[in-house]
């Protein structure tokens, strides 16, 4: 077993990877983008084309554990993710790009454990060895949002915009696991993140600041007790609406399901908010000129095309 020294580890979130040099990344879509949020998967692939990067889907990858597997067993999710990283390494890729805040946080947490503790990497490789796989600890996990800023760059993104958002007032909604815990993510301040705001501004939109942007959507407890998740959605969307938001953008499909699905149920307590919610790649791809009808906006329960017509973004 190779013991990794700290300087060998590809853990610095902002460092340039081999994948970034090749503009070719391992891609982990996660479960929801393949199931109820297919529009996220499709718009991500369209955005990758528009950006001129290649996302190589890790088709044999499993679920990241989605925070829930840890509730039953502290080892399984870590080893499942080690298997995913081994697949990326086998393809010569050292970057695994996610499009879900929960995948980001839990895959980074698993990777941190694998890299920080030799016994964890040893345990994982003992099991991976049973089917001829091995993880050498060279992979890092990043969200597409971070790729946009670190590898493409906000200036370049701004130059690529062909359909600016005409000052559309967009509220960012980060999704807990892309920022917290800071010891796992640490790409930006968890209490005062700015990446989504910067992307919104680069696209010609106006970012809306509100306290709910770093709060929880309640997705993980939506089946647990009636109305709790809906109220968390209502509380956050109320704040966004009161601060002038016309739409919301999120890098997380779980947040998307909650925000798009539960505003109606929250209206009794929080008043009607009806904020349409974009998946991050949908709005970026739109601004970069990807045809609107390919973005799956018709799949949203609160149709974003209404405000886009009002703001002369589409006819």
Residues shown for the chain: 315
Q: Which is nearer to other proteins, 17 or 263 (CB)?
A: 263
User: Contacting other proteins (CB under 8 A), which of 41, 135, 187, 262?
Assistant: 262
Q: Which is nearer to other proteins, 202 or 233 (CB)?
A: 233
Minimum distance between the CB of residue 180 and other proteins, rounded to whole angstroms?
A: 4
Q: Which is nearer to other proteins, 122 or 167 (CB)?
A: 122
d(Cα 16, Cα 154) in Å, to the nearest integer? Answer: 16
d(Cα 148, Cα 14) in Å, to the nearest integer? Answer: 12
Q: What is the DSSP string of 89-145?
A: HHTT--EEEES-HHHHHHHHHHHHHHHH-HHHHHHHHHHHGGGT----S--EEEEHH
* Element (DSSP H or E) covering residue 25: strand 24-28
User: Contacting other proteins (CB under 8 A), which of 4, 11, 20, 32?
Assistant: 32
Residue numbers 68-87 binding other proteins by CB under 8 A: 68-76, 79-80, 83
Q: Does 91 bind other proteins (CB under 8 A)?
A: no
Q: Does 34 bind other proteins (CB under 8 A)?
A: yes
d(Cα 96, Cα 77) in Å, to the nearest integer? Answer: 16
User: Contacting other proteins (CB under 8 A), which of 3, 5, 119, 223?
Assistant: 223
Q: Does 127 bind other proteins (CB under 8 A)?
A: yes
Q: What one-character DSSP code corresponds to residue 152?
A: I
3-state DSSP helix/strand/coil percent for the chain, to nearest 5? Answer: 50, 10, 40
Strand partners, 142: 97
Residue numbers 136-175 binding other proteins by CB under 8 A: none
From 33-41, 152-160, 284-292, 306-314, give the range in contact with other proteins by CB under 8 A. Answer: 33-41
Q: Give the contacts of 21 (CB within 8 A, at least 6 positions apart).
A: none
Which string of x and - marks every residue 263-292 that binds other proteins (by CB under 8 A)?
-xx---------------------------
Q: Give the contacts of 67 (CB within 8 A, at least 6 positions apart).
A: 102, 105, 106, 177, 220
Give me the residues that bind other proteins (CB under 8 A), please: 31-32, 34-37, 59-63, 65-76, 79-80, 83, 105, 127, 130-131, 133, 176-177, 180-183, 190-191, 211, 215-216, 218-221, 223-226, 228-229, 231-232, 235, 261-262, 264-265, 298-301
């Amino acid at each position: 077993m190779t013991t990794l020294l700290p300087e060998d580890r590809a853990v610095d979130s902002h460092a340039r990877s081999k994948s970034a040099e090749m503009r070719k990344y391992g891609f982990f879509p996660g479960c929801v983008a393949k199931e109820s949020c297919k529009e996220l998967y499709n718009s991500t692939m369209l955005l990758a084309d528009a950006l001129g990067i290649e996302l190589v889907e890790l088709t044999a990858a499993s679920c990241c554990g989605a925070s829930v597997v840890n509730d039953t067993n502290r080892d399984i999710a870590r080893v499942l993710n080690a298997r995913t990283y081994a697949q990326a390494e086998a393809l010569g890729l050292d970057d695994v790009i996610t499009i879900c805040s929960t995948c980001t946080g839990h895959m980074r947490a698993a990777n941190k454990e694998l890299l920080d503790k030799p016994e964890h990497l040893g345990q994982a490789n003992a099991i991976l060895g049973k089917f001829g796989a091995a993880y050498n600890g060279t992979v890092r996990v990043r969200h597409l949002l971070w790729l946009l800023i670190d590898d493409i760059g906000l200036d370049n993104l701004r130059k690529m915009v062909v359909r600016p958002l005409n000052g559309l007032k967009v509220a960012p909604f980060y999704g807990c696991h892309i920022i917290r815990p800071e010891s796992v993510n640490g790409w930006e301040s968890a209490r005062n993140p700015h990446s989504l705001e910067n992307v919104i501004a680069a696209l010609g939109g106006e970012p809306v600041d509100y306290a709910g942007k770093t709060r929880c959507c309640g997705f993980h407890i939506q089946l647990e007790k009636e109305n709790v998740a809906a109220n968390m959605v209502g509380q956050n969307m109320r704040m966004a609406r009161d601060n002038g938001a016309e739409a919301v953008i999120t890098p997380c499909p779980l947040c998307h399901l909650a925000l798009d699905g539960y505003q109606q149920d929250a209206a009794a307590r929080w008043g009607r908010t009806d904020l349409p919610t974009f998946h991050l790649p949908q709005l970026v791809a739109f601004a970069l000129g990807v045809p609107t009808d390919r973005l799956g906006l018709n799949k949203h329960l609160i149709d974003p095309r209404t405000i886009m017509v009002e703001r002369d973004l589409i006819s």
